[in-house]
Chains A and B, each alone.
Chain A
Amino acid sequence: MKRMVLLAAGILAASLHASGGRATDSASTIEVSARSFMFSPATLTVKAGSTVRWINLDEEPHTVLDDSGLYRSAALDTKDSFSFRFEKPGTYHYRCTIHPWMVGSIVVE
């Protein structure tokens, strides 16, 4: 699990660099990519209050739907993204409604 958090932090650092750095907004935003029909990292652990941003890196559109219906994105075309802020600790499973075998989890501590 630790490794995945580090990986996510690495992606965050890269995105900060690319966007010119909006540290106050992005400090608690962690990215999950949808690429080659997989969410990566498939399980992401974040602190309560963090925002998770899903970005689609495939040519095919993807969506993000929380299993309990907490959030649902519109269809994300290539490079489109969707963000959700997790306030309460717990484990949140989600899937792509277009390719429902694509699943992932967010663990909020």
Chain B
Amino acid sequence: MMSTHDVIPPRRRALKCLAYGGAGTLFALSGGVLSPIDLATAAADGKAAAQLGKPLFLQISDTHIGFNKEANPDVTGTLQRTIALVNALPESPALTIHTGDITHLSRPSEFDLAQQLLSQLKTTEMHTVPGEHDTSDATVSEYFSRFGKASGNKGYYSFDHAGVHFIGLINVLQFKAGGLGTLGEEQLEWVEADLKGRSASTPLVVFAHMPLWTIYEPWGWGTADAPRLLGYLRRFGSVTVLNGHIHQIVQKVEGNVTFHTARSTAYPQPVAGEGQGPVPLKVPADQLLGMLGVSNVSMRERPRSLMLRDTTLT
């Protein structure tokens, strides 16, 4: 049953999965097919490893180091818990991608603490893109002085790993009226050039802080000029677009492009349009850890596909 990834587990097994709580849900990201595979079921069948493939990278997002309000007075603690969880995985991914809002207020002390904590992750490489909370210092220099080298201080860059082409983008420096993020002409031209001549069979992973599709415009949950970006991505057979910003999982599939936003490790936010705005959501203490987490992406060779699994801190 698990050899194909468009099979829905029977209800009996799905119910069994619930007992595992935080085991997570696995998604196959290939050819536009996005289907949850029940991890507990896979484990019960003894085929978990085959289903999960080889760990490719970890996505961590919205750590908001420096936040200390009621929704989570201990964001350092929840990040440490996240790191312990990742370090306990049987096989560590080689890369970590942080999709922004590393800090809450862009203060040097927050960046220093975040770097100190994140350096404890057992991954060899860390790649980042900034969130709007990381570029809110008066000179917009704290993020770039620490993480700007990879992109020549532009904020956007690409690299290859295990046959996958990764593109990090910045959409938090310019805003359209109404608050949607913007990539801008220069960055879009760079993406077009970066992808030119690349084989359509190369799996792409594109990551940025704000969602690269419009989830909820009144709260600025989208990127105004993302449709042009999508135009450059469409010819590729497997495109995974990963974002943060909204502190909850939202997914969409459009052709061969799978969009996914990650949970925060700091605090949840309300569902689009509920309440006064995208403010930290206060939940009972025993529910908080179930709303925080990370995403793991692994690669399976036959059929070649990326697999995405969301894990909470419970």
B136 touching A63 by the CB < 8 A rule?
yes
B137, A97: Cβ atoms under 8 Å?
A: no
For chain A, the bracket of interface size reads 10 to 19
B279 close to A74 (CB less than 8 A): no
Establish whether residues B69 and A98, one from each chain, have CB atoms under 8 Å apart when the complex forms.
Answer: no
The 8 closest A-B pairs by CB, nearest first: A100-B175, A101-B179, A75-B136, A75-B105, A100-B179, A74-B138, A37-B277, A98-B132
A-B contacts besides A61-B105, A100-B176, A100-B178, 19 pairs, CB < 8 Å: A36-B276, A36-B277, A59-B279, A59-B280, A61-B133, A63-B136, A74-B105, A74-B137, A75-B106, A75-B133, A78-B69, A95-B175, A97-B132, A97-B175, A98-B136, A100-B179, A100-B220, A101-B219, A101-B220
The DSSP consensus for interface residues of chain A is loop
Chain B interface SS verdict (over half):
loop
Q: When A75-B105, A99-B220, A101-B220 are in contact, do A61 and B280 touch as well, CB less than 8 Å?
A: no
Give A72's nearest chain B residue, CB to CB: B138
Shortest Cβ distance from B67 into A: residue:
A61
B133: chain A residues within 8 A (beta carbon): 61, 75, 98
Q: How far is the CA of A61 from the CA of B104 in the complex (A)?
A: 8
Q: Which residues of B contact A98 (CB under 8 A)?
A: 132-133, 136
A-B contact pairs, 21 of them (CB 8 A): A36-B276, A37-B276, A59-B69, A60-B280, A61-B104, A61-B133, A63-B136, A74-B105, A74-B136, A75-B106, A75-B136, A75-B137, A97-B136, A97-B175, A98-B132, A100-B175, A100-B176, A100-B178, A100-B220, A101-B178, A101-B220
- Give the chain A neighbours of B105 by CB distance below 8 A: 61, 74-75, 77
**B contact residues around A95 at 8 Å (CB):** 175
Please tell me if A28 contacts chain B, counting CB pairs below 8 Å: no
Q: Kindly state whether residue B256 has any CB partner on chain A within 8 Å.
A: no
Task: Write out the residue numbers on chain B whose beta carbons fall within 8 Å of the beta carbon of A100.
Answer: 175-176, 178-179, 220
